[in-house]
Amino acid sequence: MPKVAIIGASGFTGAELLRICAAHDALDVVVATGDSQAGVAVADLYPSLAAAYPDLRFAGYDPATIDGVDLVFLGLPHGASQDMVPALTGRVGHIVDLAADFRLSDPGLYPQWYGEEHHVPELLADFVYGLPEFFRERIANAALIAAPGCYVTASSLALGPLVKAGMVEPTGIVIDAASGVSGAGRPPKPNTTFCAVDEDFTAYGLLTHRHTPEIEQAVTSHAGVDVQVLFTPHLAPMNRGILATIYARPQPGVDAEAAMACLADAYRDEPFVVVSDRSPSTKATLGSNSCHLTVRVDERTGWLVAISALDNLVKGASGQAVQCANLALGINETTGLAVAGLYP
């Protein structure tokens, strides 16, 4: 059974990785680090994990504890992974990074969108972008994987097949997406406390959100056409979930039936993508690794509208990371991952 280390296990994505691995019959978590929680029992910080990890404690990061590990998940804030990966490569068989440190292939985009130069740009080309529905063959047996962001996954899965099929104009695309507060991470911030978020709905990152170039890169790479999007994220008063509404201009002759058939055909054999006439909802995907999609074409206004929903901590982060790890390790891709959401 492959031995797993989760670096940054005390955050929300780390806790979700622990939860998923607890139900995974082929992954054995042997190290869980969390420098801010070093020495704290996992069950004390996350009582929901008490039955699965009654004796596990968060450890401080020490490269020596990683020796002999088959797979490392990095659940760290942006900027930390790029300083850690050089020391990990060669010590472990596979690394799956959940941060944005190795997602963008062009190092010149990091100063523009992340405010600083990339520390190890020579490693960017070694990482495979971890969106299985688009890049499954590249991910299989890959040693280094950069798992996509949650907004990017929701937007790209809805948009990618339509652009690839030539059904929509690849520029002038507008994406409005809302996320649950867990997407901001576990440490409290002035704008993510209960009193700040409750009974509020706000847009943020106007024109500058970091996922913009990642969405463009993912869809462009999949479709083989240069894509341009205007992306506006919103913070919703809920714990989990992403709902993305995407507006694009359909090509002449493209109607709702053709657009829906395009998505249905693209994902017919995908275990974690649901295409239907139902309007996707975040609650329907809660706790699952599934993404729900639909599409409409409004002949009156000349717009195509695609809608996508997923759980930002599962298909948008930790579940997708495990899906990639399964592929990299030669394990059945769906192992340990739920296709059905929790309800109510």
Active site residues: 150
The conformational region for residue 38 under phi > 0 = left, psi -120 to 50 = alpha, else beta, is beta
Q: At what angle do helices 211-223 and 132-139 cross, to 10 degrees?
A: 70
Asked if the bond preceding 213 is cis, omega within 30° of 0, the reply is no
Partners of 245 in beta bridges: 176, 307
Strands 303-310 and 291-298: antiparallel
Tokens of 284: 């329907």
First vs last C-alpha separation in the chain: 35
Can you list the alpha helix ranges (DSSP code H) found in the chain?
A: 12-22, 42-45, 81-88, 109-114, 132-139, 150-164, 194-197, 211-223, 256-266, 282-285, 319-329
Tokens of 200: 């509020």
Cβ contacts of 47 within 8 Å, gap of 6 or more: none
Q: Which sign does the torsion angle of CA 152, 229, 184, 237 carry? A: negative
d(CA 43, CA 55): 8
C-alpha distances (whole Å) from 33 to each of 95, 134, 151, 273, 337 are 15, 31, 26, 32, 23
